[in-house]
Chain A
Amino acid sequence: MNFTFSFTSLFSLLVAFSLAPLFMGVILKVKAFFGGKQGPPWLIKYYTLIKLLRKGSVYSTSTTFIFKLGPIISFVTAFMLLLFFPFAGLPPILSFHGDVVVLFYLLGLGRFFTVLAALDTASPFEGMGAAREVFFSALAEATIFVILALFFRLSGSLSFAEYFSGTQVVNLWSQSAALIFLVLIALFIVLLTENSRVPVDDPATHLELTMIHEVMILDHSGPDLALIEMGAFCKMLFYSAFISCLLYPFHTGSALYNVLVFNIIMTLIYAGVGLVESITARYKMDMVPNFILTSFALVFFATILTMEFVQ
């Protein structure tokens, strides 16, 4: 395992991590803008976190230790992703050949416990959310792994560090731009799915029956909920960073400049998510699988195309 404890790596990680709640605020702002409202303050998510961490909790009598494990594991797994990710093309703190498989499976572990925690409450609504969560993420998983396969086919690499910080980078500005373009669209769909954004899920709706992720954490409160929120920020951050690294060739140029560009692109991506949320409505539940399968079809198509491109 490559262990890089350079200042820049740590710096980029910390910047990204600490900005994650702010980026979420961007989405809210964009939505408010399109709604013709002023919207919450930019730092709303920080306030929420602080508020939650200061509170106590109410636990359902139905629950067991799993209910408490859920937030911890979902946060830890999401956070671990960040340790391996080359923010702004800077070498990540940790990386090894094959780490992507481990990381996506760690995300799966987080999901496993989130779902179990939801089922632990004996609430029919949370069960409903859990069922949707596992189903949709299973479809998204297929897309992710096809992307990994495609990247291996293109560059022979199997870790985030190799994708974005080495010599054989995967990027929109390379030979296989057409393929990467397909990947970008697919990845954006996965981002919407995995982070429970419109049009897959609507975290802001008031009817629990129509939610996926938000309904699963109904019974969590206090620091537990804060952990879940932070996990969600990390995950969103990770996917956005993934997309941004594909969009811009960070492996060239100076670190500071890269971090700056990176954060701008990140803001744009979050704004894009907000834009999508503002102008589309949530799909009917039975339309969602088709939506996710579109992403799968795109990347699978791209992978098959490599039979022609890569010899």
Chain B
Amino acid sequence: MLQFVFYIPLIVGIAVLFLPAKIGRVALFSTAVIHAMFTALEWFKLSGPLHTSYFSNTPEGMLVLAILSFLFLFISLYTVFYMGEVEMSKEPVFNGSMLLFLSAMSMVAIADHIIMLWVAVEATTLMSAPLIFVHRSKASLEATWKYVLICSVGIALALLGCFFVIFSMEMSNIHVPISFSSLNTVASQLDPVWLKAGFIFFVIGFGTKMGLAPMHTWLPDAHSEAPSPASALLSGALLNCAFLAVYRCHQLMFTAGLGDYSSKVLIAFGLASMLVSAVFILNQTDYKRMLAYSSIENMGIIAVGIGIGGLAAFGAMLHMIHHSLVKSSLFLSAGNILLGYGTKTIDKTGSMLRLLPKTGLTFFAGFAGISGFPPFGLFVSELLIILGAIKAGRYVAIGIFIFSLILIFAGASKLVMQMVFSEKENDDILVPEKWTRALPPILLLLTSLALVIWLPDSIYQTIQNAISSIGGTVNG
């Protein structure tokens, strides 16, 4: 049953590539619904047992899958309305690729076999490439090229990491299937040096995909050039998938008793990401790039949180959930802004409260959310990470962490305030906003809000199960 979550979008996706655009839109949304149903079945453990060693439903995987499925539901809804208002010559390709992309990401979420995980992550790159270059403008071509090449190189290195992990097993003459679940059982016997080497390549390889600095370079280009629904999916779901891959390896390291080392590596990369995004959010001129850098920052925060472990790991997982919700909402709002103003340059936007009030509202609310203000969830997660980090005695790390947060907030708030509040010279609006397009971002934000007020026990349990394997606990 589990495999259906990627079989179905795969099949429908291929079909949609060859079907007319109108049918494709319907198929897109209905597949999203079906995918959500299967995810729910899996979430509540209602489906039958697995018959394969390649896949498994780990708690962290289920978490990523659930976020993915939930986001895709709203993003596909948005896409349906969005497509109704923009002219896209290759719409079937776009819709089909969205589904294929969904399929690949679902596969990442449930992959257990190391190489299968690698295959799935590489597949996400390839399936999402068409989404970025669907406009075929010079900029989008450049973005796609960088995306595909850099990510492929990175992920190729991750393959090397896989080999090293496998070899660490051979060095100690153990023979178990090379899936994470079975490796975890023998983790303590693995050769530490090769495991460390494997981890490095894992982190650098999948970190490229996750947007960890200094391998993040493709991310701002790709996220800003992709059509907004695709950007939302890239930022909200894909990055989580890449993170999942890194997380799996960290888990293995932790079980093997090398948690200290992998934690340090994750914290270092996380902080580097935050600093780099601070550099580029200050004085940014393009609002989609700003959001992209903010994704880098948040991936950095998650990496730091996971690296610190303990309470911070819980915070990191919460951060992942809320970041996905809020960031995809922001990207969808950005899509509305782009439709309205016809430009991604911040200087040419303005007076949003008057011209695009609903979008202005969602955009600013999303910004408040991403900056860690209540009532949105990132407030809780960032607070937990800070508390956890100090508890763990990582004073320097938390110093840099806070410093970057302040810088990023200073940079981003200036831009967002300019966009939403400043006076625009003329009142030209290309496409007036509609409820249909404003609703998905609102709903996503409301979900984040609802999860702050009431977190379902099953999510809480899942997070706890997920982080228990890296020493994460809610009790410090």
Contact between A and B in the complex (any CB pair below 8 Å): no
Listed in ascending order, the chain B residues whose CB lies under 8 Å from chain A are none
